[in-house]
Amino acid sequence: IPSGGLTDMCRKPVSPVHVSSVSDWLVSIGMPMYSAPLLAAGFDTLDHVSFLNEAKAREAGLKEDRHIRILLSEAQLVTASSSG
């Protein structure tokens, strides 16, 4: 079912300082529905999110190409902010 931009509307601006878990991160980018699949696939810390790639996202059960692209883009930002 197409979301018609609902994901963007649900995005909650959260300071990176307040993002301390994968669930918090997913809420902050408007994709809390992927919390269970990513946690089950071993992405249970923000450090592990840095290893997320398209193949691993698909293995976790994600199917929506646009959502995968957004998650990968946002994962790079998490990685950059945690290393910088």
Question: What pLDDT is attached to residue 3?
Answer: 56
> CA 5, CA 2: separation in Å to the nearest integer?
8
Q: What is the mean pLDDT of the chain?
A: 84
Could you tell me the two tokens for 46?
């923000």
pLDDT higher than threshold 80 for residue 23: yes
Q: Per the structure block, which two tokens stand in for 17? A: 């300082």
What does the block give as tokens for 23?
Answer: 């669930």
Percent of the chain whose pLDDT exceeds 90: 65
State the Cα–Cα distance between residues 84 and 81, nearest whole angstrom.
Answer: 5
Q: What is the pLDDT of residues 36-48, one digit of tens each?
A: 999 999 999 999 9
Strand, coil or helix: 34: helix
